[in-house]
């Protein structure tokens, strides 16, 4: 955690004396401590995590990268903190703070200027995962894979989408997940043409596809995967579409390496799918970063000019969605390396007909 603090300070312009971190996810990133209330002040003279009575004892035991101090009201300690650390120009989270919140903090701090947005610097830091972060994400992925392997036996005619979604979530939590990464998608039949369909009371029928997009959260880090399976024998059209999506995914995986842009990798999947006559049936991005949040930088999408670097974790999830009929999506999660990528998803992707 101390290295993260030092690296952030190195990335800030010299005229910026420090950074005020208010968002829960970035507080956790710089302290390793999760709480519903608190703020982090990072300065060139020293840093401190401030929180209230509910968390201060636990914080003093857990936070080793900086000092900890208690407040009764966050704004009450700001003036003294700025004076203690000799801060005159402080960076802030523009993507997190509302305009009214920014105005309120500026009034409290008086002559101390909130004059620099640090969102890009923090995003660039969080993009590159340390070996320890990769291990945590991979461990979360193993929980999701365990759940999928167990739940396949439950997917049969008559079972509802909601039942499978709940079973996936129960199995992940039972194995140690803190939470699910996002609202589980478990949908069947024509609902699979909805990229973000919501599980309901629709029952599985023979010949349906069943699509599951889900993940586990462990030690604050998320996982993400999608698998589409057939319930009984599926049609030749369904098989053809599945194989096309699989081809797009496999070729995109081959294209990922340090130096490539997100747009270049996205173009591989999009070119295969659109070249086969399915233009307009794949209108979401091919992938996104995963870490402390389920959607982070970088993106694999049209117009994503950011270059990939070793240590970045991205999903690769092309799909084809035929409105009113069915949809297919296959998603893995990979770590970018100098010469390719390491796949963190162990489960096979060949079409399964249950």
DSSP string, 149-210: HHHGGG--TT-BHHHHHHHHHHHHHHTT-SEESSSPEEEEGGGGGSTT----SPBP-TT-EE
| pLDDT tens per residue, range 207-253 | 999 999 999 999 999 999 999 999 999 999 999 999 999 999 999 99
**pLDDT tier at 76 (50, 70, 90 boundaries)?**
confident
**In the chain, domain spans:** 2-127, 131-343
Decide: helix, strand or coil at residue 80: helix
pLDDT score recorded for residue 6: 95
Helices (H), 190-327: 236-255, 262-275
Helices (H) and strands (E) in the chain, counts: 10, 19
Distance CA 111, CA 88 (A): 7
Decide: helix, strand or coil at residue 148: helix
Closest among 64, 3, 2, 54 to 33, alpha carbons compared: 64
- Does the structural domain 131-343 have CATH classification 3.90.230.10? yes
Q: What are phi and psi of 298, to 5 degrees?
A: -90, 175
| pLDDT tens per residue, range 126-166 | 999 999 999 999 999 999 999 999 999 999 999 999 999 99
Same fold, 2-127 and 131-343: no
| pLDDT tens per residue, range 103-127 | 998 998 889 999 899 999 999 999 9
Q: What is the mean pLDDT of the chain?
A: 96
For the chain, the straight-line distance linking the first and the last C-alpha, in angstroms and rounded, comes to: 46
Q: Kindly state the percentage of the chain with pLDDT values over 90.
A: 94
| pLDDT tens per residue, range 245-294 | 999 999 999 999 999 999 999 999 999 999 999 999 999 999 999 999 99
Distance CA 316, CA 249 (A): 7
pLDDT score recorded for residue 79: 87
pLDDT score recorded for residue 1: 82
Distance CA 91, CA 66 (A): 18
| pLDDT tens per residue, range 84-98 | 999 999 999 999 999
Sign of CA dihedral 293, 131, 248, 206: negative
Q: What pTM value is reported for the model?
A: 0.95
Top CATH class of 2-127 equals alpha beta
The two structure tokens encoding residue 327: 């949809």
**Tokens 């999701």, residue located:** 144
Please state, in angstroms and as integers, the Cα–Cα distance from residue 260 to each residue in 96, 146, 249, 305, following that order.
29, 32, 16, 9
Sign of CA dihedral 175, 179, 181, 185: positive
Contacts of 210 (CB under 8 A, 6+ apart): 155, 164, 186, 187, 188, 192, 204, 228, 229, 230, 231
What DSSP element (H or E) covers 94? none
Using an 8 Å Cβ cutoff, are 320 and 249 in contact? no
């Amino acid at each position: 955690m101390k290295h993260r603090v030092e690296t952030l300070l190195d990335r800030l312009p010299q005229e910026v004396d420090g950074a005020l971190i208010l968002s829960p996810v970035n507080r956790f990133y710089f302290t390793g401590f999760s709480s519903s209330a608190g703020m982090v002040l990072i300065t060139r003279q020293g840093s401190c995590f401030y929180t209230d009575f509910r968390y201060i004892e636990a914080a003093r035991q857990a936070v080793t990268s900086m000092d900890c101090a208690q407040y009764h009201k966050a704004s009450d300690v700001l003036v003294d903190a700025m004076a203690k650390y000799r801060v005159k120009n402080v960076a802030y989270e523009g993507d997190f703070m509302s305009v009214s919140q920014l105005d309120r903090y500026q009034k409290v701090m008086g002559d101390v200027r909130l004059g620099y947005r640090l969102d890009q610097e923090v995003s660039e830091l969080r993009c590159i995962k340390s070996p320890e972060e990769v291990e945590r994400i991979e461990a979360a992925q193993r929980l999701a894979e365990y759940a999928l392997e167990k739940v396949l036996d439950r997917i049969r005619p008559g079972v509802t989408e909601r039942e499978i979604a709940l079973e996936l979530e129960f199995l992940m939590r039972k194995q140690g997940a803190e939470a699910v990464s996002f609202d589980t998608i478990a949908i069947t039949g024509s609902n699979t043409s909805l990229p973000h369909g919501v599980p309901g009371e629709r029952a599985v029928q023979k010949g349906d596809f069943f699509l599951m997009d889900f993940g586990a959260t462990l030690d604050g880090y998320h996982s993400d995967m999608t698998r589409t399976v057939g319930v009984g024998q599926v049609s030749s059209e369904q098989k053809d579409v599945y194989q096309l999506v699989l081809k797009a995914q496999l070729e995109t995986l081959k294209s990922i390496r340090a130096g490539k842009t997100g747009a270049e990798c996205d173009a591989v999947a999009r070119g295969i799918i659109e070249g086969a006559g399915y233009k307009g049936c794949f209108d979401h991005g091919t992938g996104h970063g995963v870490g402390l949040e389920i959607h982070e930088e970088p993106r694999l999408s049209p117009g994503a000019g950011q270059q990939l670097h070793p240590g970045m974790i991205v999903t690769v999830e092309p799909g084809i969605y035929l409105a009113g009929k069915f949809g297919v999506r296959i998603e893995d999660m990979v770590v970018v390396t100098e010469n390719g990528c390491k796949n963190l998803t162990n489960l096979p992707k060949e079409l399964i007909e249950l």
